[in-house]
């Protein structure tokens, strides 16, 4: 089929009118405006959006606009909730998958601790990188055989990539963390980790004291075993020991650490709505962009973001950092995550995001309201009209 739109976004500096030619779920070419099977007037058409950090098994209502207590208390309650919900997490994950697609997301980088998301997503068209989350507070928590079995278990490599996610530097024993990073490098796979999320993390890793130490003691771990003798990011960024990864949040990364992230080929994932929920200080995303760090957007869990919409996430990002141009926000959910994956040799999964010949026809259409500002700025306040995965319509609402 041929889909035409008044505005087509390919990641380039300008947005042009044109027609996409799609055959067997693959983009063949972009033509000049003309006869088409579907014309989208006053609409922006782009590749489908990527949610670069999400916990689909936490697709639960959040408790207000701000976290009701401390972050460590909230984190402890999440651990307890997962244990209490058990198999219900499959149904919760399925709900999150449906909501994500309805909101224009065609691919997710999900962190799945127990396999509930994996069970729910296996029959979905949603493209995905599934990171098996690892929490291992002691040396005895090493479960290498199960982690390797998980990595080798992909049955649909065209749609799914599996990788590992040590939860954080303070919830994975340093010896196990090193083995996970080395395993990822050996298999040429990315990794994902929550790093510099809380202000107390640096104190814990430097001295074994502070709120983080009390958090570990609450779960029977010894904080002194988590003290590092070197900069964590420096060791993770060693090309001889590590493949590139996703630095989730990175709220308190320094200028020096941002340079290490850029040098290592890793990416920073910003979750603006979740960031606001925890009342964090301003996120370093603008600084990261200026230092050449790829910045991607994620929702985190619905339990903290309050939604699973990348359009809302772009709006949250614009509100939090108004100096970032709209085009950079759009790239954070379209071309940037795909370029990062391509740099790891995984371009087959999501394509380029530039709507080039050979890319999968994963698309989203958004209305462009009238008003001041450029097309991309106005589209941030638009309405999702349609979403396609491999050329198949997943959601559709006829333009008014």
**Burial grade of 54 (CB within 10 A; 0-12, 13-18, 19 or more):** buried
**Digit-coded pLDDT (tens) for 98-136:** 999 999 999 999 999 999 999 999 989 999 999 999 999
Question: Apex CA 343: angle with CA 354 and CA 126, to 5°?
Answer: 60
**Digit-coded pLDDT (tens) for 137-165:** 998 999 999 999 999 998 889 999 999 99
Contact 135, 83 (CB under 8 A): no
Q: Give the integer Cα–Cα distance in Å for 182 and 254.
A: 25
| Nearest alpha-carbon partner for 295 in 303, 307, 305, 287 | 287
Full DSSP string of 311-378: HHHHHHHHHH-TTS-HHHHHHHHTHHHHHHHHHTT-HHHH--SS--TTSB--EEEEE--SSSS-HHHH
**Digit-coded pLDDT (tens) for 339-359:** 999 999 999 999 999 999 999
Q: Domains in the chain, ordered, with CATH? A: 2-47+353-396 (2.30.40.10), 49-350 (3.20.20.140)
| Residue indicated by tokens 């979750």 | 271
| Residue indicated by tokens 């790829």 | 294
What's the pTM value of the predicted model, to 2 decimals?
0.95
Question: In 206-251, which ranges are E strands?
Answer: 245-249
| Residue indicated by tokens 């402890």 | 76
Q: Is the pLDDT of residue 238 over 70?
A: no
Predicted confidence at residue 59, as pLDDT, reads 96
CB atoms within 10 A of CB 303: 21
Q: Give the integer Cα–Cα distance in Å for 283 and 274.
A: 11
């Amino acid at each position: 089929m041929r889909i035409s739109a008044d505005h087509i976004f390919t990641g380039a500096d300008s947005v042009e009118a044109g027609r996409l030619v799609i055959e067997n779920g693959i983009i063949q070419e972009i033509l000049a405006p003309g006869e088409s099977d579907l014309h989208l007037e006053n609409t922006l058409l782009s590749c489908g959006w990527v949610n670069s950090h999400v916990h689909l098994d936490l697709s639960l209502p959040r408790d207000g606009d701000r976290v009701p207590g401390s972050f460590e208390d909230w984190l402890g309650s999440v651990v307890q909730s997962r244990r209490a919900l058990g198999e219900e997490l499959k149904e919760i994950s399925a709900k999150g998958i449906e909501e994500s697609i309805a909101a224009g997301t065609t691919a997710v980088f999900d962190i799945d601790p127990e396999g509930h998301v994996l069970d729910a997503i296996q029959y979905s068209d949603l493209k995905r990188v599934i990171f098996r989350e690892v929490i291992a507070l002691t040396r005895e928590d090493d479960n290498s055989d199960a982690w390797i079995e998980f990595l080798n278990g992909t049955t649909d490599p065209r749609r799914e990539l599996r990788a590992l996610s040590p939860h954080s530097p303070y919830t994975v024993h340093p010896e196990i963390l090193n083995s996970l990073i080395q395993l990822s490098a050996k298999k040429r796979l990315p990794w994902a980790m929550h790093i510099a999320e809380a202000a107390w993390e640096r104190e814990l890793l430097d001295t074994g004291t502070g709120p983080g130490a009390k958090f570990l003691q609450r779960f029977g771990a010894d904080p002194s075993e988590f003290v590092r003798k070197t900069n964590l990011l420096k060791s993770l960024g060693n090309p001889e020991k590590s493949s590139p990864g996703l630095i989730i949040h990175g709220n308190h990364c320094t200028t020096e650490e941002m340079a290490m992230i850029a040098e290592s080929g890793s990416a920073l994932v910003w979750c603006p709505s979740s960031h606001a929920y925890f009342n964090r200080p301003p996120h370093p995303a603008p600084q990261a962009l200026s230092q050449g760090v790829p910045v991607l957007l994620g929702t985190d869990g619905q339990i903290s973001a309050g939604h699973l919409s990348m359009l809302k996430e772009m709006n949250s990002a614009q509100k939090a950092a108004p100096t970032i141009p709209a085009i950079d926000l759009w790239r954070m959910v379209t071309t940037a995550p795909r370029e990062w994956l391509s740099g790891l040799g995984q371009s087959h999964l999501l394509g380029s995001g530039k709507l080039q010949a050979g890319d999968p026809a994963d698309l989203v259409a958004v209305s462009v309201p009238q008003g001041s500002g450029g097309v991309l700025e106005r589209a941030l306040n638009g309405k999702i009209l349609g979403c396609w995965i491999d050329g198949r319509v997943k959601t559709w609402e006829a333009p008014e």
